[in-house]
Structure 1
Amino acid sequence: MLQCPVGELSTRVEKRTAKNGNTYLRYIFSKVKCRKCSQRENCRVGKSKAKERNYSITQASEKNLERLKFEESEYFQERMKIRHRIEEKNGELKEAHGLRKADSRGLFAMHLQMYFTAFTANVKRIVRLEELAME
């Protein structure tokens, strides 16, 4: 059971497992007791129109714990610093050059479209840089 800051215990707990392997514990508190509570405005217990108020705690699975540990590594942090530049180029390819939707069916056709689109975008970028250099 979980105890709120005022000292009230949860009435029940529901344990659920998500598709990603995480376990969620949902602690349910009495709405009647919460209504009379002096700390009601500062409470972290979920506010809803249901008959009870609840608070959820996530317990990460082994696989997700490994991912979280990797995300704290220095290698990951360095890679995240350059990600925005890559995402900016991908966004340009999708928005300005039509890579959002496939022209033909099949994986091979999509690969060709991707290569030609990237080639076109790079040529445009080179021409723009040469024009700037000539000025």
Structure 2
Amino acid sequence: MFVCPADHLAIRKARQGKKNIGENQVDTYYFDVEKCKVCHLREGCYREGSKTKTYSITIKSELHKEQMAFQQTNHYRSKSRERYKIEAKNSELKNVHGYGRADSYGIQNMEMQGALAIFTVNLKRILKLI
């Protein structure tokens, strides 16, 4: 059970969410509202007139734990420092050169549109460097 800062024990605990589907489950602890009404630490904790008092703790799934561990590695940090450069080029392609939406039907037409947009961006870069 969970104990609040005023040393009141939760009266029940419930786990919400489905397990083994890649989403995080939540442990919700329920407290006795009558104790909260007369508690000396109720400021910022208990809202006047509320019928229930709960506190929730998220339980990270294995997938999220692995991702959090990966984000602490040096490899991830070095790659994330370079990402803004790539995202800027993608944004230019999409917003300036129309790469976000197909102009005509068919995979071949989309490939042609992509090739022309990328060629245009590369040509602009070459001209800027000259």
* TM-score over 0.5 (shorter chain): yes
Shift of 1:99: 2.3
Q: CA deviation at 1:4?
A: 0.5
**Stretches of structure 2 lacking an aligned partner (at least 5 in a row):** none
1:1-135 paired onto structure 2 within 5 Å: 1-17=1-17, 19-43=21-45, 51-105=51-105, 109-130=109-130
**Two-structure CA RMSD over aligned residues (Å):** 2.8
Q: Could you tell me how far apart the structure 2 residues matched to 1:17 and 1:106 are?
A: 42
Question: Using the alignment, how far apart are the partners of 1:68 and 1:96 within structure 2?
Answer: 35
Rounded Cα–Cα distance in structure 2 between residues aligned with 1:38 and 1:95: 56
Larger deviation: 109-118 or 52-61? 109-118
Deviations 1:42-101 (A, max 9, x none): 54x8x6x86323222112222222221111111111111111111122122222222232
Percent identity of equivalent pairs: 36
Distance 1:109 1:34 in 2: 66
Unaligned runs of 5+ residues in structure 1 are 131-135
The count of residues paired between Structure 1 and Structure 2 equals 128
Residues 105/32 of structure 1: CA separation in 2 closer, same or farther (3 Å cut): farther
Compute the TM-score of the two structures, normalised by the length of structure 2.
0.76
- The amino acid that maps onto 1:85 is K
With normalisation by structure 1, the TM-score equals 0.74
